[in-house]
Amino acid sequence: MGFSRAYSDYTKQACCQSITIDRSNRIRSAPHNGGHVSKRESLGIKRLHSLHYYVRDLERMTRLFVDRLDFIEVGRSSAERTAAGRQQSVAFAAGDAVFTFSAPLDDTARAARFLNKHPEGVGTIVFEVADCDHALKVIESRGGTPITDVQTTTDDNGTFRTFSITTPFGDTTFRFVESEKYDGLYPGFVKTAPRPNGNSFDISHIDHITSNFPTMAPALLWMEHVLGFERYWTVEFHTDDVAGDRDHGSGLKSIVMWEPESGVKFANNEPKRPFFRRSQINVFSEEHRGAGVQHTALVVKDIVTSVQTLRERGVEFMPTPDTYYDALPERLKTCGIGEIDEDIEVLRKHGVLVDGDQDKAYMLQIFMKEQASQFNAPEAGPFFLEIIQRKGDQGFGAGNFRALFESIERQQVAEGKVSPS
């Protein structure tokens, strides 16, 4: 894979840190600006409950999540629920990270309606709230659009309450559940195993969700004014910022929104000119056929060991040029991290990236290839997973943008592909 393609793949992460990189290559701080508006009444979000993913092939996702990522199957739709919804569903969990996958049985299923318009992907994001009635009342008073009223189900597992709303995230809906008094995932799901405390990779939870938009302003305003989220970090980047006078390139603008009480975070991206249509954010929108969830990050305790084992199990990751690691010792000094616990040659071997801006406080990250490449199946779509380990830094790896782009430029100069500036 060429360096230009490696760059394109890497930028699909579209994560964001508290920096803006300008044409002079200076990094300017963009401090947290949450609270620039008056404090809004909270919806009472407690946590990210789960992601609901629509697929054509359940077995393929089982091989990835169970056989490779070591998730546990915790539930499966009952015969009655499968027949009523015309789709078969299965749920996998690792720590607090829960994914539900649904495959349609016919064209009337919700999964079929999504898949008729899009490749496989996240169709519903589910939040646990303290009180569904309160959350619905607040959302509706702010101009949100409910799909359903609060629905209450009582069965042998207890009482479960839920409602759903439309969103600016393309055809992805948001669902809110009140399940503190419910011993199960959803009504109509048969428990197949207890919820695990962890797995062999010590996956603990979902760190953040990243979504791509042709234009993200409507989504940001909606998240702020309807859901009460606040701005957390921002970044802008373009290949032209590293080396101008190009006849091609790719760029993005990205803003992270968060819900302060629960800590739920969304990174949101749009393409940046020049070469808007060649931006990997725009490419995602074309491949996904609209706005949607690009990736989500899974938190682990030991990323090096995790990546080594995942590679042995056949998981493929986006590549990083060797020159990134050649420059890493100096970058660790200049960005303020100083020393790290990991051996740089070990990070090079496994393709793990490092970022941060405080003494001995940093994060490590790596990105799996998108599902279409992972499975060699175009219909699997452009969604992918990030693996992340936080060691005192709560940023989003934006420092890796500049380091990676500069390393690519040096490699291209060394190979005679471009002239030195």
pLDDT tens digits along 407-419? 444 544 565 644 5
For 113, the enclosing helix (H) or strand (E) is helix 110-115
Vertex 303 angle, CA 382 and 100, to 5°:
45
CA terminus-to-terminus distance, the chain: 25
Residue 189 contacts residue 156 (beta carbons within 8 Å): no
Amino acid at site 254? S
Report if residue 420 sits inside a domain: no
Q: What are phi and psi of 227, to 5 degrees?
A: -90, -15
288 and 329 in a single domain? The answer is: yes
What is the DSSP secondary-structure string of 333-382? HHTT----SS-HHHHHHHT-EEEEEETTEEEEEEEBPPHHHHTT-GGG-S
Report if residue 226 sits inside a domain: yes
Domain stops at, among 191, 223, 239: 191
What pLDDT, on the 0 to 100 scale, is given for residue 194?
80
The C-alpha atoms of residue 145 and residue 166 are separated, in whole angstroms, by: 6
What pLDDT, on the 0 to 100 scale, is given for residue 267?
92
Q: What percent of the chain has pLDDT over 70?
A: 81
Q: What are phi and psi of 373, to 5 degrees?
A: -80, -40
> Over the stretch 127-161, which tens digit does the pLDDT of each residue have?
999 999 999 999 999 999 999 999 999 999 999 99
What is this structure's pTM? 0.85
The C-alpha atoms of residue 223 and residue 215 are separated, in whole angstroms, by: 14
Residue 136 contacts residue 163 (beta carbons within 8 Å): yes
Report if residue 39 sits inside a domain: no
> Over the stretch 153-165, which tens digit does the pLDDT of each residue have?
999 999 999 999 9
What pLDDT, on the 0 to 100 scale, is given for residue 40?
81
What is the DSSP secondary-structure string of 296-340? EEEE-S-HHHHHHHHHHTT--B----HHHHHSHHHHHHHTT----
354 and 224 in a single domain? The answer is: yes
Domain stops at, among 191, 213, 243: 191
Total structural domains within the chain? 2
What pLDDT, on the 0 to 100 scale, is given for residue 260?
93
Residue 327 has pLDDT above 50, yes or no: yes
72 and 149 in a single domain? The answer is: yes
Report if residue 81 sits inside a domain: yes
- Mean pLDDT of the residues in the chain: 84
What pLDDT, on the 0 to 100 scale, is given for residue 419?
52
111 and 219 in a single domain? The answer is: no
337 and 401 in a single domain? The answer is: yes
136 and 239 in a single domain? The answer is: no
The C-alpha atoms of residue 11 and residue 397 are separated, in whole angstroms, by: 11
266 and 358 in a single domain? The answer is: yes
Report if residue 421 sits inside a domain: no
Report if residue 419 sits inside a domain: no
- Total residue length of the chain: 421
For 6, the enclosing helix (H) or strand (E) is helix 3-11
CATH number of the domain to which 171 belongs: 3.10.180.10
168 and 286 in a single domain? The answer is: no
172 and 94 in a single domain? The answer is: yes
Q: Residue 40 corresponds to which tokens in the numbers above?
A: 């809004």
Residue 9 has pLDDT above 80, yes or no: no
Report if residue 40 sits inside a domain: no
233 and 331 in a single domain? The answer is: yes
Number of neighbours of residue 417 by Cβ within 10 angstroms = 13
342 and 216 in a single domain? The answer is: yes
Report if residue 399 sits inside a domain: yes
Domain stops at, among 139, 170, 191: 191
Give which of 270, 272, 254, 173 is closest to 213, Cα–Cα: 270
What pLDDT, on the 0 to 100 scale, is given for residue 282?
83
What is the DSSP code (8-state) at residue 182?
B
179 and 261 in a single domain? The answer is: no
Range of the domain at 148: 45-191
270 vs 126, higher pLDDT: 126
Sign of CA dihedral 340, 343, 348, 350: negative
Give which of 370, 395, 62, 70 is closest to 203, Cα–Cα: 70
Q: How far is CA 133 from the centre of its chain?
A: 29
Residue 239 confidence class, pLDDT cut points 50, 70, 90 = low
Residue 33 has pLDDT above 70, yes or no: no
The C-alpha atoms of residue 13 and residue 384 are separated, in whole angstroms, by: 9
> Over the stretch 277-320, which tens digit does the pLDDT of each residue have?
777 788 888 999 999 999 999 999 999 999 999 999 999 998 88
What pLDDT, on the 0 to 100 scale, is given for residue 276?
74
**Cα separations (Å) of 162 from 130, 132, 136, 180, 186?**
11, 7, 10, 12, 10
Q: What are phi and psi of 18, to 5 degrees?
A: -85, 55
